[in-house]
Copies of this chain bind each other. A is one copy, B any other.
Amino acid sequence: MTVAEAGAMLPIAVDAMGGDHAPAEIVAGARRAADELGVPIVIVGRPEELTDTGGLEVIPASQVIAMDADGASSVRRMKDSSLVRAAEAVRDGRASAMVSAGNTGATMASALLRMGRIKGVQRPAIATPIPVLGSTPTVLLDAGANAECNAEWLVQFAQMGAVYARERYGIAEPKVALLSIGEEPTKGSPLVKETHKLLAEGEWLAQAGATFVGNVEGRDLMGEAADVVVTDGFTGNVALKTLEGGLDAIVSGLLEAFDSSDEARAAAAVLWPTLSPLYESLDPENTGGAMLLGTDGVCIISHGSSSAIAIVNAVRVARDMVLGDVVGHLARTIRPG
């Protein structure tokens, strides 16, 4: 992709009001993304709070859905919220994608209700990259869109995850696995056993240019056993949050140890050049965020604590997914049952 291509695309709509550090960090990120990536950006939010826009176009929206509000009901009620307006901009052909660090449930609901689903998709799923040291991330889905799932939805998640891993990480034939509590097909919940059977028997993954490698366990998420790991949104969200909490705890413990004495600080300074790539590969600021797969338009969900850097990375992913036509690829892979 050239800067000319990116410049010719429809702007990416950034929800300026979503996230713990909104609007200042979000707007700063949007400006940096416009400068550094050469991508047209439109920001969505309360004009009176968006003072330092650097000339970016603003789509006005008078309401803000709080981070802890109920997603679906807020979207139904708050029709002039920044999230709803961002999703409408994509629907109406005014923007090519939306990016938000706001309320995840409300982001999903806005995208689903305003953009609609890709034909044949039963339920959209959140695809989250899990860092793998020294390799491409594992795409985990569903990371929380659907607390309850059936086996057919999980098969579609497998197909969508494969298309996404190819587009986002350039993996020609992604290895797709099912999250369980043992490698044997006989282990796991009834949902897992039924899904395993469908994935092993069907042509589902061949259609998506992918291979089913069977069940994996939680410990394989940060490893190279699979490129895509499929699960229901309850299990996926628990796994994701468990990993985040574990990594945070260790990083805090390490930083405390590194800062425990003058001697320790000096030693840590020597190690830092070697440790910082490790730290950066684990930092959620750098993953580019999760993508909602299955809506008829690109929707990138950035971490609630996103800084400007996280927004730049999320816009980069949005741009790549638009230019790579991931929605078109998904539509051609998922066929109405």
Contacts and interface: CB of A to CB of B under 8 A. Distances in A.
30 contacts: A70-B186, A132-B249, A133-B249, A147-B189, A148-B190, A181-B234, A181-B238, A217-B237, A217-B241, A217-B245, A218-B237, A218-B240, A219-B242, A221-B246, A222-B248, A222-B249, A223-B249, A238-B239, A247-B250, A250-B250, A250-B278, A250-B282, A254-B254, A257-B275, A257-B278, A258-B271, A261-B274, A264-B274, A267-B267, A267-B270
Nearest to A234: B189
Please give the count of copies of this chain that the complex contains.
2
A23 interface: no
Contacts of A190: 148
A243 B148 CA distance: 23
B245 A220 contact: yes
A179 B238 contact: yes
Contacts of A179: 238
A116 interface: no
Contacts of A243: 218, 242-243, 246
A177 to B, nearest CB: 13
B274 A257 contact: yes
A179, A247, A249, A253 — most chain B CB neighbours (10 Å): A249
A249 B235 CA distance: 21
Interface of A: 70, 132-133, 144, 147-148, 179, 181, 186-190, 192, 217-223, 231, 233-235, 237-250, 252-254, 257-258, 260-261, 263-264, 266-268, 270-271, 274-275, 278, 282
A288 to B, nearest CB: 20
Given A179-B238, A218-B241, A246-B222, A263 B254 contact: no
Contacts of A186: 70
A244 B218 contact: yes
Contacts of A282: 250
Contacts of A237: 181, 217-218
A187 B147 contact: yes
Nearest to A249: B222
A260 B238 contact: no
B246 A247 contact: yes
A234 B234 CA distance: 11
A135 to B, nearest CB: 11
Nearest to A261: B274
A186 B105 CA distance: 13
A188 B192 CA distance: 18
A128 to B, nearest CB: 13
Contacts of A147: 181, 187-189
Nearest to A231: B238
A241 B132 CA distance: 16
A221 B181 CA distance: 19
Given A245-B218, A245-B219, A234 B267 contact: no
A179, A240, A250 — most chain B CB neighbours (10 Å): A250
Contacts of A221: 242, 245-246
A223 B252 CA distance: 12
A322 to B, nearest CB: 29
Nearest to A148: B189
